[in-house]
Amino acid sequence: MSVKRNLLEVKNVTKKFGSLIAVNNASLHISENEILGLLGPNGSGKSTMLHAICGRNLPTSGEITLFDQEITMKNPTARAAAGMAIKFQLARIYLDKTVRENILISLQAKESFFKQIRSATLKKHEEKIRELATEFQLIDYLHLPAKQLSHGQQQWLEISMAVAVNPVLLLLDEPTAGMSPAERKETAVLIKKASQHAGILIVEHDLDFIKELCDRISVMHYGEIVASGTPQEIESNPKVREVYLTRV
């Protein structure tokens, strides 16, 4: 483990909304090719934490670095440029656009306007689109508007859009929400595969799903990280059992 570089480093992040402290002095880190699970019940601050990392809500204090580059106050575009990609809790895809167009939107995001106006990279991306669509079982729906996909397929589309650009850090907010057990299994495989190229942060409230998948898990409660460790350590941690597991 120690040979691997620290990919994401979150140090002492605090986020206040007025007098409410949503995240209090929380720290975590992800190494290359590591899958970290961020676990906690609703309202524990894990979503706020995710938003601080992805740049949607900037933290009140603390420091976030990606590959030793400080990104605490950078905007989402700059974070994407640094290699961050995200899948939101409710799939945020372009419902009126086709599956092909959705993936293309992700693929061409950082290209120059003049290339785009000449549609210069269309052919190049088509190969990648087909590859991703095959992997995420969307190949038969390339021409369909995304709104006609099933719930699970929409989630997969968004994950495929996130991994399309080969991010170094992938943020997944409840990637299996509303999926059937079979779909969950598939998703776990896809995520495992993606971790060959990237560090992954999965935000979940379901321990069963992430204990198989994650290398490490951090548990949040009332805005603080109350425990960190391997899935086995977390499962047997009395504090975690007390604040979290008994409630389920």
Partner 1 sequence: MSPVLIFAGNDYLTQIVTRILVYGILVLSVEMSWGQTGIFTFGQAALFGVGGYATGLIATKANITDIFILIGLALIIGIAIGMLISLFLFSGRRVGELYVALVTLALSYICERLANSWTFLGSGNGVPGIPYPSIFGHSLGSNIQVFYLVLVIFILLMLLCFYIVNSQFGLTMNAVRDDEERAEFFGYKRPRVQIFTFILCAALASIAGCLFAVSEGLVSPSMSGLALSTTTVLWVVLGGRGTLFGPLIAMAVLQIFNTEMQNVLPSLWPILIGIMLLLTMVFLPKGLSSIPNIIKSKREVKTL
Looking at beta carbons only, is 109 or 245 nearer to partner 1?
Answer: 109
Q: Which stretch binds partner 1 (CB under 8 A): 12-20, 25-33, 98-106, 240-248?
A: 98-106
Q: Residue 157 in contact with residue 99, Cβ under 8 Å?
A: yes
β partners of residue 219: 39, 227
Q: Give yes or no for residue 139 binding partner 1 (CB under 8 A).
A: no
- Which of 61, 69, 75, 134 is close enough to bind partner 1 by CB under 8 A? 75
Looking at beta carbons only, is 30 or 54 nearer to partner 1?
Answer: 54
Q: Residue 85 in contact with residue 34, Cβ under 8 Å?
A: no
Dig out the tokens for 235 from the structure. Answer: 């499962």
Residue 96: exposure state from Cβ atoms within 10 A (0-12, 13-18, ≥19): exposed
Q: Give yes or no for residue 54 binding partner 1 (CB under 8 A).
A: yes
Minimum distance of partner 1 from residue 16's CB (angstroms) = 20
Q: Give yes or no for residue 69 binding partner 1 (CB under 8 A).
A: no
Q: Which stretch binds partner 1 (CB under 8 A): 116-124, 187-195, 207-215, 238-246?
A: 116-124
Minimum distance of partner 1 from residue 106's CB (angstroms) = 5
| Beta-carbon contacts of residue 90 (< 8 Å; ≥ 6 apart) | 177
Minimum distance of partner 1 from residue 69's CB (angstroms) = 15
Q: Give yes or no for residue 127 binding partner 1 (CB under 8 A).
A: no
Conformation bin of residue 37: beta by default, left when phi > 0, alpha when psi is -120 to 50 = beta
Alpha-carbon distance 164 to 126, whole Å? 12
Q: Which stretch binds partner 1 (CB under 8 A): 15-23, 35-43, 81-89, 179-187?
A: 81-89
DSSP 181-227: HHHHHHHHHHHHHHTTTSEEEEEES-HHHHHHH-SEEEEEETTEEEE
Which residues in this chain contact partner 1 in the complex, by CB under 8 A? Answer: 54, 56, 75-77, 79-81, 85-86, 92, 94, 96-97, 101, 104-106, 108-111, 113, 115-122, 161, 165
